[in-house]
Amino acid sequence: MLVTGLCFVAVTALVKMLGTEVPPAQSAFLRYFLGLVFLLPVLGTLRKTHIAPRDWLLFAGRGGVHTLGVILWFFAMTQIPLAEVTAMNYLSPVYVTLGAALFLGERLAARRVLAIVVAILGALVILRPGFREVSLGHLAMLFTAFSFGASYLMAKNAVEKYGPTVVVAMLSIWVTIGLAPFAWEVWTRPSLQSIGILFAVACFATAGHYSMTLAFANAPMTVTQPVTFLQLVWATLLGTLVFGEPVDIWVVLGGSLIIGAICFITWREAVLKKRAITPPDAATKL
């Protein structure tokens, strides 16, 4: 998870470095298009997988929702500091929790409601409406987190049936297709340097998802989830040292509230799951 955080912060730093040289929609398309090279090792698996017609609609729908989130994220990166992008992106798991209750019938206990309220307060601390101008970049990140949350919910339905390899591959393909018309509308001739930066983005993003998968396979979520807070630390330091962005204590405080709420939700789900699978004391005695 430590490596994951560094990889994802590298992604945001590279996109920040690219700036407005390439339009956000085109940058997003090139990132995913160049990243398709990483699908070559799994082409055999994809060819052998039979996908039901209704699941094609699920994958396409997820690709559309994720496409919107990716465009908004690339746009936000050109508008607001790294630390704010990172902190507000933590809202995605909160949206997932709400969506699971509304659409998947999962129970929303009082503790989870309280955690969601704390996370929303964290977002308000970052935005501080009425005390400063809420920019288009901030609004873009709010909808980015919502889009990614919806995407993760759709993935939850598909991953048990097809496995993570197929689900990730289908996302890459559909998002590339979804971004193509948006990129075409604003297309400018990218420099070799821009293409190199976006290929590096694809490499770091792929490495980050891979290392995150390894972490999930080797440790419970209660261990891995709190480490994601370090992404905010790395992003704040990078923004200050490399891009000259001032440290905003309100962003750090708001991000801490959000990640604290996420960690609490993760811990409670782990406790409840353990209770469900642990047999009573008498059942273990012969």
Dihedral through CA 56, CA 62, CA 64, CA 69, nearest 10? -170
- Minimum mean pLDDT among 40-44, 97-101, 260-264: which range? 97-101
Task: Domain ranges for the chain, please list them.
Answer: 2-276
pLDDT digits (tens, 9 = 90+) for 169-184: 888 899 999 999 999 9
Please write the tens of the pLDDT for every residue from 115-147: 888 888 888 888 887 677 788 998 999 999 889
Of 12-16, 79-83, 128-132, 200-204, the range with the highest mean pLDDT is 200-204
Return the residue matching tokens 């920019």: 135
Mean pLDDT of the chain: 82
Query: In the prediction, which pLDDT does 71 show?
Result: 92
Q: Which residues contact 4 (CB under 8 A, 6 or more apart)?
A: 208, 211, 212, 215, 228
Residue 156 pLDDT level (bands cut at 50, 70, 90): confident
At 277, the pLDDT band (50, 70, 90 cuts) reads: very low
- Please give the biggest Cα pair distance in the chain: 73
Structure pTM? 0.79
Q: What's residue 282's pLDDT?
A: 40
What pLDDT, on the 0 to 100 scale, is given for residue 33? 93
Higher pLDDT residue, 220 or 50? 50
pLDDT tens-place string over residues 186-212:
999 999 999 999 999 999 988 887 787
pLDDT tier at 262, thresholds 50, 70, 90: confident
| Confidence band of 42 (pLDDT split at 50, 70, 90) | confident
For the cut 90, the answer to whether the pLDDT of residue 64 exceeds it is: yes
| Mean local confidence (pLDDT), 276-284 | 41
- Give pLDDT, residue 222: 57
Residues 85-106 have a mean pLDDT of 77
The yes-or-no verdict on residue 3 having pLDDT over 60 is: yes
Question: What residues contact residue 231 under an 8 Å CB cut-off, 6+ apart?
Answer: 5, 8, 9, 86
